[in-house]
Every structure is written in structure tokens, then in C-alpha cells.
Copies of this chain bind each other. A is one copy, B any other.
Amino acid sequence: MDKKNKPLSKNQKIVLDFIQKNKKPVKAYSILSNVKRKGINAPPQVYRALDKLIEIGKIHRVESQNSFVACKVSDCDTPHKTIFSICNSCEIVSEIKDPKLFKQLKDFSDNDGIKFDGYNLEFFGTCKACKNKQPESTQH
């Protein structure tokens, strides 16, 4: 797949840069307002860049948040094969790299024997940092 090695366009670079700078996933309109001074003026410009960056696997969409996060997995050569953990409290998202789980999802087939092209798995819980912050009695 050599789409990955194609140089990014101007807008794609701007959007990717901004996403990579952020620890947490970012929203499309937050990207927009933050890159306005770089000459990106309107939603379609952002969404086009996002679509392409997702396609080439540089970023992922966090479905449950409508947000976007840079890919942290170096050999993640395909989009749509993603495993995230999401903290309900601080909303930090981490990409999980677990070879065993990865393999299992890749090889999974349903009752009809159908194998799948991709998957998205999102785990929800409370991250370590947030667990330490709040004594268990305070959890809502």
C-alpha cells in the first residue's frame, strides 16, 4: 500500500499536525477554530482532510465521541482495525495494542462463516489517574 507514502497535501498536514499535538482526541469544529489562522476557513476543508487521514491510517475516528485521534500504532497499516480504551471521567482515549486480542478480532468470523474487513472496539471505564483522584465512595 503506497498511499501511505504519498506526501500529504497542505490542509492534510495542517490538520494532522494539530491532531498530533493533542493528547486527547479533538473534535472537527475544534480543529477548525484552531487552524483558522492557517488558512482553513470552512468545515468541508477539515472534513476532507480528516477523511483522507483516516483512509491512510494516520488518524482514527473515536465513534462514541465524534472525535479524532492520531494513530499511535506504528504498524497500523489499515484503517478500521482499532481498539481504544476510553475513560468515562477524563475522556482520555488510548489506543490498545494487544497482539492476542488483535489476532482474535482479525480472525473472527460469524455464524455464516463471514470474515470481516475491519472492526472498531471501544472499551469504557475509569483510567488509573481518575481512579486515584476519586475515592470509590465519590464515584457517581
Contact between chains at A128 and B114 (CB < 8 Å): yes
Task: Please name the residue on chain B nearest to A129 by beta carbon.
Answer: B112
Q: Tell me which residues from 96 to 129 in chain A have a Cβ below 8 Å from any Cβ of chain B.
A: 96, 98, 101, 104-105, 108, 110, 112, 114-128
Least CB distance from A74 to B in Å reads: 17
Query: Mostly helix, strand, loop or mixed at chain A's interface?
Result: mixed
Partner pick for A110 among B85, B88, B105, B131, CB 8 A cutoff: B85
B residues near A127, Cβ cutoff 8 Å: 112, 114
A binding-site residues for B, Cβ under 8 Å: 63-64, 80, 85, 88, 94, 96, 98, 101, 104-105, 108, 110, 112, 114-128, 131
Given A63-B64, A110-B94, CB of A125 within 8 Å of CB of B116: yes
Residues of chain B within 8 A (CB-CB) of A105 are 121, 123
Please tell me if the beta carbons of A108 and B123 are within 8 angstroms of each other in the complex.
Answer: yes
- Are the C-beta atoms of A117 and B101 separated by less than 8 Å? no
The distance in angstroms between the C-alpha atoms of A121 and B85, with both chains bound, is: 12
What's the Cα separation between A122 and B116 when bound, in Å? Answer: 10
Chain B's closest residue to A80 (CB) is B124
